[in-house]
């Protein structure tokens, strides 16, 4: 007697859950929200304060992987600096970093560090 009611309700519940799952997965793929300069600075400070960032190539890999998600949402003022930090960490983490590229990246890194110091007090 109630079996057709239960089947209908289960179908609706399944459909609703599938819709929620699709929305959740779509929002996970959406572009990250734009952070303020202060929020970008806070996130970089947290990442940079981790002691594993000072552990050679493995530390640089960890550092790069922690910076990577920040780049997309970094404030317009901080985005070039965050990208410079990431590029430097990525190249430093390589088994044999390109020396010419590292020279350019080190200069970019220093410029980014100066900007970071000015904006992230």
Taking only the tens of pLDDT, the chain with its 121 residues reads: 555 555 555 455 455 444 444 444 444 455 568 999 999 999 999 998 887 666 788 889 999 999 999 999 999 999 999 999 999 999 999 999 999 999 999 999 999 999 999 999 8
CA pair distance 81, 100, nearest whole angstrom? 20
pLDDT at 1: 54
CA pair distance 31, 65, nearest whole angstrom? 18
Single out the residue of 111, 34, 121 nearest to residue 80, CA to CA: 111
Angle (deg, nearest 10), helices 99-119 and 79-93: 140
Q: Where are the domains of the chain?
A: 1-30, 37-119
pLDDT at 121: 87
């Amino acid at each position: 007697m109630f079996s057709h009611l239960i089947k209908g309700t289960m179908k609706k519940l399944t459909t609703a859950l599938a819709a929620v799952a699709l929305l959740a997965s779509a929002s996970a793929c959406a572009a990250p929200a734009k952070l303020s300069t202060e929020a970008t600075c806070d996130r970089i400070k947290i990442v940079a304060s981790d002691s594993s960032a000072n552990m050679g190539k493995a530390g640089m890999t960890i550092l790069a992987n922690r910076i990577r998600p920040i780049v997309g949402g970094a404030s317009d003022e901080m985005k070039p600096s965050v990208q410079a930090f990431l590029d430097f960490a990525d190249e430093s983490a390589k088994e044999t970093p390109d020396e010419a590229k590292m020279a350019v990246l080190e200069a970019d890194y220093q410029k980014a560090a100066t900007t970071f110091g000015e904006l992230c007090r």
